[in-house]
Every structure is written in structure tokens, then in C-alpha cells.
A and B are shown apart, each in its own frame.
Chain A
Amino acid sequence: MGKSVSMWYLSAAAFLAAVWAAAAEIVALPIIPSPLLVAENLTEIFMDYIAVHSIYSLWRIGAGLFLAVAVGLPVGVLMGYFPKCDRFLSPLVYLTYPIPKIALLPILMLLFGVGESSKITMIFLIIVFQVVVAVRDGIRSIPKETLYPLYSLGASFRDIFFEVLWPASLPKFITAVRVALATAISVLFFTETFGTKYGMGYFIMDAWLRVNYLEMYSGIVVLSLIGLVLFTTIDLIDQHACRWQYKQ
């Protein structure tokens, strides 16, 4: 990340902290503690209390994302490249895509239990559809003419996939992950309020129930930082892997 980009992030953080500080001053109730107190609390308890929760949350997001890519990418490629697959699978995707996945949480918890697998499955379900549709559309938008020179050289499907289909759909794929991830984090928060003693969702809700607002806000700040780390990681991957898009 360039120096100027880091500057922008720092100023954005400073701006939010200022708004927060002003709100704390005006409201003057324990429900909005000053950001300075929260920062102090955060540095005190992060290593001992919060770190383990954030690792649990990251692991759930990572596992869900990995599964979604492992399933969504091949399905998207098949649908985008072979019209027959698309004809068969599109109705299935379109019928299931709009279902709010959070509505399935009770079913998932009955099927997979209240432990890790139902939480990971939830994140998987949220991300996978976006990946499928993005990859499919990315591949569909490749002009036929781009493929002709490769076909006429007798390119195998492997060649076509690695030289054209994958790089052509990568930008849309990354965008889909970026969009889906925001939803995934919010839903993860919700699922972590059930059946677990670990995760940022649990930590924040627990602090709230104990009326420990400083800890609750520390948790929210960490959640926001997790989002920041994930999004900047995706941006960096995007800038590197899709370098050609940012030229000119």
C-alpha cells in the first residue's frame, strides 16, 4: 500500500473518531463512551480477551469463503462456458439466490448443530451465489473473437481455462467476494450470538449483557478492524492480479 493510501485511511479513522468523540461529549451517557477510554481499554484487554475471539471469527470467515470459492468457481465456469449447464443450473440458482440466507439459520442449526459447521455453512451460502453469478457473467462477456485464435491452434479446455476464462472472470470474481464479504461479516455476528463461547459476535453481545460498554465498544472497533484488514487484503490481491485493469 502506498504512503498516500495509508494517509487516507488514517484520516478516515481520525474523522470517525472525532465524530464519535463529539457524540460522546454531547450525549454524555455511559452508552457512548469516549473513544480515548475505549482505545485505552482495547490495548489493555486485546491480547488477553479479544484476540482469541477475533481469531475464531476470522477462521469462520476464511473457511466459509474458501468453501464458497471452491464450489462457486467451478460451477460459475461451467455455467458461463457451457450454455447447456447454464440452462439447467440458472433456474436453480435464481430460485435459491434471493432467499435471505439468515432465514435458513434455524434449519442449519438443526442439521449441523449449533457449532462451527452451521456458522461456516451460513457464510458459505451467502458468498457462493455471488461468486457463481459473477464468474458466469465474467465468462459470458468474453467476446467469441478472443477465443478464435486459441481454438484454431487446437487449445485444450485446460489452456482455455487458464489463459482466458480464469483471468477474464477474476475482476468480477474479486468484486463479488468484496461485496459478499460485508454481508458475511454482519451475518457472522448474528450467528455467533448462538451456541458458542467464541467469536466477535459472542464477545460483543456478552459485554452488552454485562453492561460493560467499554468492552462492547472495543469489540466493535476490532470487528471494524477485521473488516478493514479483509478488504485491504482483497484490494491488494486485486491490484496485483488484475494489474492490466488499472493501466492507462
Chain B
Amino acid sequence: MYTAIANVDLVVPDGGTCAVIGPSGCGKSTLLKCIAGLIPDYEGQVFINGEEVNPKTQTIGFMPQNYGLLPWKTVVENIRLGMKIKKAPELLDRNVIKQLMRQLGIEGLGQRFPVELSGGQQQRVALARVFALQPDVLLMDEPFSALDAITREEMQDIFLRLWKKFNVSTIFVTHYVEEALYLGQKIVVLSANTGGIAQMIENPLFGGKNIRQQPEFFEMGLKLRNLIKKDWNQIWENQ
């Protein structure tokens, strides 16, 4: 037993997105696992739609850092897996999957195995898998961190498009300040120092057109970065 996070009080509005950012070892992933119902014993409470987290009754989409695709399943089988587990026959509708795959630009890859895909393609399959379920909450652990910079920005746009369409409440963990600024309506800066929330920001830049090219995007990024650095330095001073 140990304390990775403490005093985290966080509300994510229905259909909103929330970025959790902070230095390594601040408990970002632990927070995500608590919400996903992956950690059975912890002090505190997590509610989804006013009910305590229960993977059996709620639909919690979890996208791990390495995409979490099963190497022995084809792309289509991977996408269908969540529905199979949820025993949701209405979701098993082939058209839903087909449409999603078309939107993600992977319609020709259905019979391939994950090893035959590029990182970007695997990422798309992972997105198709979670969005196909239309989950109550979508959790992403460092979602696009393994991709190169150009592909990452492309995937961020694709994510936003899907999110707008399906209106899925999303919480994601990232260590990229730009990613938090671009995808997070709400940005939570976790402190490695206290294990709690260092700062919570309603992101004024979210949803802006071409926001990545604007000067305020850089400014805000710099501010966030300094915030994280300050927290990081405090640890060293305390030691």
C-alpha cells in the first residue's frame, strides 16, 4: 500500500474533455486506473454519471499507451472485441464498424493483424475500438505519445472529430503540454510534490480554429510548462 495521489477533487462535465498533465511519477496513470476501475482498493470515490464506478454495468473505454491491440486478432476482431465483451448485439452491427473504419481511414485494413500496421494505423484501430462502444467515459493513457510529431497532430484532429460526433466524456493523461492545450477543455496539473492537483485550468483556447498556429497557444504552453517545472523543482528543494 502506498499513496500515489491524494486530495484529488475533480469533476468532468458530461461530454467534456479533461487533460491531466504533470511530471513523471505524479500519479497520472494511477488516477486514470482508479477511474477505469482497475484498482480495487483505494480511499475515495469515483462516480460516473452519478454512480460508483463498476466496469460490469458501465461502459468504460480504456486506451492504454501501447494501443492495447491484441496481436492475434485482426483489425476487425480487435474493434469488435469490446462489443463482444459487453454483449451488446445492437452494437455488433457491421455498419457501425464499417462507418467508423471509413471515418478513420482504415477501411481496407480489416483483415490485417496489428503487426502489419504502422503506429499511426494501430492508433486509429485503437480509437475505432473505443469509440465503437460509445462509452460512458473514455480514458486515454498518453494516447498519442508513441507517434511522430506530424502523425500525432493528425491523430489529435481525428480524435477531436470523433469526440464531437459521439460526444464522449474523455479524460486523458499526457506529458505533452501542447496536447493538453489542444485537446483538453479542462486542464488539470498534477503535482508530483503533494500528489494532488496543483492547478485546474478551464482552457480558453480549446476548440479554436487553427489554434496551434496562434501566439496565445505558445504563450499558454510556456505558462503551463513553467508551472510543471516549478512543481518539479520543489521536490528537489524538499530533499
Selected contact of B82 from candidates A145, A149, A243, CB within 8 Å: A149
Asked if residues A148 and B62 are in contact (CB atoms below 8 Å), the reply is yes
Closest to B137 in A: A152
The reply on B42 being an interface residue by CB < 8 A is no
State the main secondary structure of chain A at its contact with B. Answer: helix
* A154 to B85 CA separation, bound complex (whole angstroms): 8
Number of interface residues of B (CB under 8 A): 35
Give the residues in chain A near B209, CB-CB below 8 Å.
Answer: none
Q: How many Cβ-Cβ contacts under 8 Å join chain A to chain B?
A: 81
Looking at A29-37, A50-58, A161-169, the stretch in contact with chain B turns out to be: A161-169
Asked if residues A149 and B62 are in contact (CB atoms below 8 Å), the reply is yes
Selected contact of A154 from candidates B56, B81, B116, B139, CB within 8 Å: B56
Asked if residues B70 and A145 are in contact (CB atoms below 8 Å), the reply is no
The reply on B177 being an interface residue by CB < 8 A is no
* A242 to B54 CA separation, bound complex (whole angstroms): 34
In A62-76, the 8 Å CB interface with B consists of none
Give the residues in chain B near A163, CB-CB below 8 Å.
Answer: 70, 73, 81, 84-85
Q: How far is the CB of A170 from chain B (nearest CB, A)?
A: 8
Asked if residues B71 and A153 are in contact (CB atoms below 8 Å), the reply is no
* A248 to B112 CA separation, bound complex (whole angstroms): 10
Asked if residues A159 and B85 are in contact (CB atoms below 8 Å), the reply is yes
Give the residues in chain A near B139, CB-CB below 8 Å.
Answer: 152
Asked if residues A145 and B115 are in contact (CB atoms below 8 Å), the reply is no
Give the residues in chain B near A152, CB-CB below 8 Å.
Answer: 36-38, 55, 60-62, 139
Asked if residues A244 and B71 are in contact (CB atoms below 8 Å), the reply is yes
15 further interface pairs, Cβ-Cβ under 8 Å (given A153-B55, A153-B60): A145-B64, A145-B66, A148-B36, A148-B38, A149-B61, A151-B62, A152-B36, A154-B56, A155-B85, A163-B81, A243-B113, A244-B73, A244-B114, A244-B115, A248-B115
